[in-house]
Amino acid sequence: MTQRIYIAPDRVTVSKPGYDAVNPPAVDYKYLALDSRLTSNKPLEIGLIPTFVRGMTVNYTTTYAGIPGVDIVVYNTGSIAGVGNFIRYQRGIVIRDAGSVAYNRSHFYLGCYNNHFVVGEDVQYVGSSLTGGSYPAFYVLWQTW
C-alpha cells in the first residue's frame, strides 16, 4: 500500500494515484499532485487543521499584502489489522480566491481574507458532509497578487 500524503517539517507532498508520497520516483508533476519542493510557485504557508468543520476560522501566521489562494486537502488516518497504520487521502478540494473572484469547487463556502479564512456552508442545493465530519486537513496558501 502506498502512502499518498506525506507531511514533514521540510515538505508537504500529495502523490498521484499509484505513487508513494514519501519516496516518489522524482519530484515531478508526473508523479505528484502537490509538493512544496516543486519549483513553480513556492507556497506562502502550509498549516495543519486538526478537525475541518463548518464555521471554523483558520488564522494565517501573518497578514499578507493580498488575498492568497487556498488549497485544502482533507485526509483520514487509521489502522488495519495485519497491515498497520495508514494515512489515506480522503478528499481533495481546490479553492482559489483571486481578489474579488472566488472559485469554490465544493458544497461549502470558503471566505478568504488576507489574514484568515472562514469555512461556511452553501446549503442552497445540498449540504456538505465534509464540514459535518471530523476529518483532519492541511491547507496551502499561494500568492495570487
- Residue pair 32/40 in contact (Cβ under 8 Å)? The answer is no
pTM exceeding 0.75: no
> pLDDT: is 50 or 86 the higher one?
50
How many angstroms separate the CA atoms of 50 and 23, rounded?
A: 25
Q: What is the pLDDT of residue 114?
A: 93
How many angstroms separate the CA atoms of 105 and 124, rounded?
A: 15
- Residue pair 133/120 in contact (Cβ under 8 Å)? The answer is no
Residue 89: all three cell numbers together? 487521502
pLDDT in tens, 105-144: 555 677 889 999 988 765 555 455 555 567 788 888 888 7
What percentage of the chain's residues is helix, strand, coil (to nearest 5)? Answer: 0, 50, 45
Of 21, 56, 25, nearest to 135 (Cα)?
56
Of 34, 10, 55, 66, nearest to 140 (Cα)?
34
